[in-house]
């Protein structure tokens, strides 16, 4: 049975162009800064995002955590949106690695109210931790891939900067945001000080993320990457795929967005399931289960038996993610499976 894997865009397999580029990659020891392919990728990433420098890291999690470690000091507080990946899904890294505590601020579709961010910034008082960093996430995973409105990013960054606080963007899927808005990625990240973005999600590279920022920030981040065990050697074999991802895989994200929309429309027509279509902006669909017979884990298991893979993200919520290895025809097959399974009820 052919599996339709809607668990995440992380499951994408490298393209033939990537495999060829990996095979042919010129390499060197990147801890010495001597891998020409890694250097090219870093230069290209910095250029595309309109920042001074970039650092290749093995994972998005490491990129975010290196950024947080580099921006903050122990005992500080980090303002995050209450459902942020850095807070929910990074194994408590903010506490464990940076020695900081988290101040979660609830958002709407991932966007925090700038006034709420300002209210969360600590006053100068001997009892309080200092606010060391504000983190944003674009697109926002747990809201179903919503794009942060550019004016919201600018307003939150303005508040933070007015208080002398830097802003880090978890831009794991920032290219999805850029394609959805039809705006250059550099424009979306202009207000923030550092950005992490992933090559290994919708852009389909097998491994790798980049941390981007000022030259001084990246020089310090390079030390912290080494501290966290991320100093890789002949990493050009991985960076080569990343260069192909940036060159060939950005524009096609629009196909994933169209597939997600079709998937969401179909799901919304199935009795027992609901989708807030306003949140379907990129390559994710957050599905609410309204049929009282089903829980999310039971539905995920029943769909697996029909060849459709997805993840539960709450007791009655599942997440579907489209990507280059899911075709428009797969979307129709997945919708048939959903309709059949939900209607039949738990067996």
Give the number of residues written for the chain: 347
What is the CA 259 to chain-centroid distance, rounded? 19
Nearer to ligand TLP by Cβ, of 77 and 170: the residue is 170
Segment near ligand TLP (CB under 6 A); pick from 60-68, 161-169, 265-273, 331-339: 60-68
Contact between 60 and ligand TLP per CB under 6 A? yes
Distances (CA, A) of 99 to 36, 93, 132, 152, 344: 35, 9, 11, 28, 50
CB of 237: closest distance to ligand TLP in angstroms? 18
Segment near ligand TLP (CB under 6 A); pick from 57-65, 75-83, 261-269, 339-347: 57-65
Nearer to ligand TLP by Cβ, of 197 and 294: the residue is 197
DSSP code at position 131? E
Contact between 59 and ligand TLP per CB under 6 A? yes
Considering just the CA atoms, what is the radius of gyration of the chain in Å?
20
Distances (CA, A) of 192 to 93, 143, 219, 303: 21, 21, 18, 41
Contact between 12 and ligand TLP per CB under 6 A? no
Q: Using the rule CB under 6 A, which residue among 35, 137, 193, 330 binds ligand TLP?
A: 137
Strands (E), 209-283: 209-213, 273-275
CB of 198: closest distance to ligand TLP in angstroms? 5
CB of 216: closest distance to ligand TLP in angstroms? 24
Q: Using the rule CB under 6 A, which residue among 10, 39, 214, 234 binds ligand TLP?
A: 10
Nearer to ligand TLP by Cβ, of 53 and 211: the residue is 211
Spatial distance between the Cα atoms of 206 and 199, rounded to a whole number of angstroms: 8
The residues near 23 (Cβ < 8 Å, ≥ 6 apart) are none
CB of 34: closest distance to ligand TLP in angstroms? 25
Nearer to ligand TLP by Cβ, of 250 and 339: the residue is 250
Q: Are 215 and 53 in contact (CB under 8 A)?
A: yes
Can you give 204-227 as a three-state secondary structure string? CCCCCEEEEECHHHHHHHHHHHHH
DSSP code at position 324? T
Phi, psi for 65 (deg, rounded to 5): -70, -35
Q: Is residue 32 exposed (0-12), middle (13-18) or buried (19+ Cβ within 10 Å)?
A: exposed
Query: Residues touching ligand TLP: how many (CB under 6 A)?
Result: 15
Nearer to ligand TLP by Cβ, of 72 and 141: the residue is 141
Segment near ligand TLP (CB under 6 A); pick from 56-64, 156-164, 230-238, 258-266: 56-64
Contact between 312 and ligand TLP per CB under 6 A? no
Q: Give yes or no for a cis peptide into 139 (omega within 30° of 0).
A: yes
Q: Using the rule CB under 6 A, which residue among 85, 257, 261, 324 binds ligand TLP?
A: 85
Q: Are 263 and 321 in contact (CB under 8 A)?
A: no
CB of 91: closest distance to ligand TLP in angstroms? 10
CB of 209: closest distance to ligand TLP in angstroms? 6
Q: Using the rule CB under 6 A, which residue among 172, 192, 237, 239 binds ligand TLP?
A: 172
CB of 117: closest distance to ligand TLP in angstroms? 19
DSSP code at position 337? H
Contact between 313 and ligand TLP per CB under 6 A? no
Find the residue with minimal CB distance to ligand TLP: 60
Ranges within 179-238 binding ligand TLP (CB under 6 A): 198, 200, 209
Q: Which of 173, 223, 220, 175 is nearest to 193 (CA)?
A: 220
Segment near ligand TLP (CB under 6 A); pick from 45-53, 54-62, 157-165, 270-278: 54-62
Site residues (vs ligand TLP, CB under 6 A): 8, 10, 59-61, 64, 85, 89, 137, 141, 170, 172, 198, 200, 209
């Amino acid at each position: 049975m052919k599996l339709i894997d809607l668990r995440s865009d992380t499951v994408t397999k490298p393209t033939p162009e990537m495999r060829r580029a990996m095979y042919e990659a010129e390499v060197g020891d990147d801890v010495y800064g001597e891998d020409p392919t890694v250097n090219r990728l870093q230069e290209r990433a910095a250029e595309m995002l309109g920042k001074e420098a970039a650092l290749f890291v093995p994972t998005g999690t490491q990129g975010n955590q290196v950024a947080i470690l580099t921006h903050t000091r122990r005992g500080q507080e980090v303002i995050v949106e209450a459902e942020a990946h850095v807070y929910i899904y990074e194994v408590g890294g903010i506490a464990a690695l940076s020695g900081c505590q988290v101040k979660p601020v609830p958002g709407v579709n991932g966007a925090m109210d700038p006034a709420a961010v300002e209210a969360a910034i600590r006053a100068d008082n001997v009892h309080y931790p200092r606010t060391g960093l504000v983190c944003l996430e674009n697109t926002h995973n747990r809201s179903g891939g919503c794009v942060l409105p550019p004016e919201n990013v600018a307003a939150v960054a303005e508040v933070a900067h007015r208080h002398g606080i830097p802003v880090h963007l978890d831009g794991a899927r920032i290219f999805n945001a850029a394609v959805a808005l039809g705006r250059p990625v550099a424009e979306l990240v202009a207000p923030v000080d550092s950005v992490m973005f992933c090559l290994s999600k919708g852009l389909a590279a097998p491994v790798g993320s980049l941390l981007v920022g000022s030259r001084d920030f990246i020089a310090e981040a390079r030390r912290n990457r080494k501290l966290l065990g991320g100093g890789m050697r002949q990493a050009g074999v991985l960076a080569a795929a990343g260069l192909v991802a940036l060159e060939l895989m950005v524009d096609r994200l629009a196909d994933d967005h169209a597939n997600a929309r079709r998937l969401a429309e179909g799901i919304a027509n199935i009795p027992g399931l609901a989708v807030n279509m306003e949140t379907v902006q990129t390559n994710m669909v957050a599905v609410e289960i309204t049929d009282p017979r089903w829980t999310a884990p039971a539905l995920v298991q029943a769909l697996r038996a029909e060849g459709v893979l997805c993840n539960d993200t709450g007791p009655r919520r599942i997440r579907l993610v489209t990507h280059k290895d899911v075709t428009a025809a797969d979307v129709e097959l997945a919708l048939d499976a959903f309709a059949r399974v939900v209607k039949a009820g738990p067996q």
